[in-house]
Amino acid sequence: MKVLVIGGGGREHAICWKLAQSPRVTELVCAPGNAGIAETARCVDIGVMDFEKMADFAKKEAFDLVVVGPDDPLAAGIVDVLEEAGLRVFGPRKNAAILEGSKAFSKDLMKKYGIPTAAYETFDTPEAALAYLETAKVPVVLKADGLALGKGVLICNTREEAREGVKTLMLDKQFGRAGDRIVVEEFLTGREVSVLSFVDGKTIKIMTSAQDHKRAKDGDEGLNTGGMGTFSPSPFYTPETHAFCREHIYQATVDAMRAEGREFKGIIFFGLMLTAEGPKVLEYNARFGDPETQVVLPRMKNDILDVFEACVDGTLDKVELEFADNAAVCVVLASDGYPEHYEKGFVIEGLENFKDKDGYWVFHAGSKFDAAGNIVTNGGRVLGVTATGKDLKEARKNAYAATEWVDFANKYMRHDIGKAIDEV
Ligand code: AMP
Ligand code: GLY
């Protein structure tokens, strides 16, 4: 089968690596891809938001399956456009991708169907939000309704911070139209877990759990980022937690979307908070997590092409997902200054050290070839170094050892990815 993957980050590198393991994949293409993905797939320079060009290309090349990675094109309806062009696509249509694309939608859905989540109110004007905040309990959480690169969430410890937050989101429009409407939410405490799942419209199959580290600096300090590192499984995601989520969250979400006439096919990523009152949904994503994918897929035993096809065909009930009884840790190597100001274009050295090393991966998040053919840094997050081990501690030791195998100017990483493991 000829498969096209859309995207060009670490998540798509992991998806391409996994697809390349399938004996049924005869040709793999990625648009736009990156310098790391180029090792396993032919990269074609088409932007993920250039739907027309993407559809023309995909039709001309007659792909048997298209897999969409990132949130922005999903929310904007790339699946609908590709399907109209006659292609077979893995990913939610626009009317289902709204599960991630609008926080107000997902909160209303959870409320309507009794899915546990933080209490909230939605506001369309800054005046109404400010009036509400005069009496709201602090800390309080403000969320831009639309997509904001994972950065449209403000945790406000005081009323003054909350007022400032409304200004940032709704008046200064720091995240553009995403902040036209905001959700004001109760502040929850607990451990966060990422749970990814495959969905075929009716059936949902849960993957192994993972935990991300969203803040830029050690000790969960600094700004929110796309994710600085992950580990899988989460030792805090117990069988009891899983049973609760199965009963109250997972299938309930899929059924709710169907009941709303928004059948969801693709990946649902549940961002959960394990609170004292039980697990609650912090957010849904309509795609694989980044860098969760970089620890989940290396542990998955199934041929991912079979699973993608089962989701598209509505036969996921026939699939049993299998994960290795091991652990994985991914440490993101970023360019110093990320997520604010950072430089690009530094030569990356040592990538060859990962060749033929079982249990070690270097997934490229932001890299490209320069004019001289060198692989250079091309983003805030540059590489994701993943290693497996028999348990989390061994995986962490291996991953941190492997971070030393590569180098580039301004290389920055957190040194406490997986620190929570020590508390178990
Ligand atoms: P989200 O994009 O909704 O996942 O939010 C980004 C991050 O903000 C989450 O991973 C949490 O760390 C934090 N967060 C979001 N909602 C809440 C909440 N209601 N209470 C506490 N922290 C939250
Ligand atoms: N790592 C969090 C996300 O993909 O949204």
Domains of the chain as residue ranges with CATH? 2-94 (3.40.50.20), 119-186 (3.30.1490.20), 191-318 (3.30.470.20), 327-423 (3.90.600.10)
How far is residue 42's CA from residue 57's CA, in Å, rounded to a whole number?
13
Our mutation pick for probing the ligand 2 site, out of 234, 269, 282, 386, counting the most ligand atoms within 8 A of Cβ, is: 269
| pLDDT, tens digit (0-9, with 9 covering 90-100), for 397-421 | 999 999 999 999 999 999 999 999 9
Q: At 369, which helix (H) or strand (E)?
A: strand 367-369
Residue-level pLDDT at 80: 98
Alpha-carbon span 115 to 245, nearest angstrom: 10
One digit per residue, the tens of pLDDT, for the chain of length 424 reads: 999 999 999 999 999 999 999 999 999 999 999 999 999 999 999 999 999 999 999 999 999 999 999 999 999 999 999 999 999 999 999 999 999 999 999 999 999 999 999 999 999 999 999 999 999 999 999 999 999 877 789 999 999 999 999 999 999 998 989 999 999 999 999 999 999 999 999 999 999 999 999 999 999 999 889 999 999 999 999 999 999 999 999 999 999 999 999 999 999 999 999 999 999 999 999 999 999 999 999 999 999 999 999 999 999 999 999 999 999 999 999 999 999 999 999 999 999 999 999 999 999 999 999 999 999 999 999 999 999 999 999 999 999 999 999 999 999 999 999 999 998 8
Residue 287 CA: which ligand 2 atom is closest?
4
CA 156/CA 147 separation, integer angstroms? 20
Residue 35 vs residues 71, 187, 336: alpha-carbon distances, Å = 21, 41, 20
For ligand 2, atom 1, the nearest C-alpha belongs to 290
Nearest CA to ligand 2 atom 4: 289
Output the CA 223–ligand 2 centroid distance in Å.
15
Bridge partners for 66 per DSSP:
4, 89
What pLDDT, on a 0 to 100 scale, did the predictor assign at position 224?
Answer: 86
The answer to whether the pTM exceeds 0.95 is yes
Q: How far is the CA of 372 from the centre of ligand 2 (A)?
A: 33
Tokens representing residue 268 in the block: 């649902």
Which residue type is seen at 385?
A: V
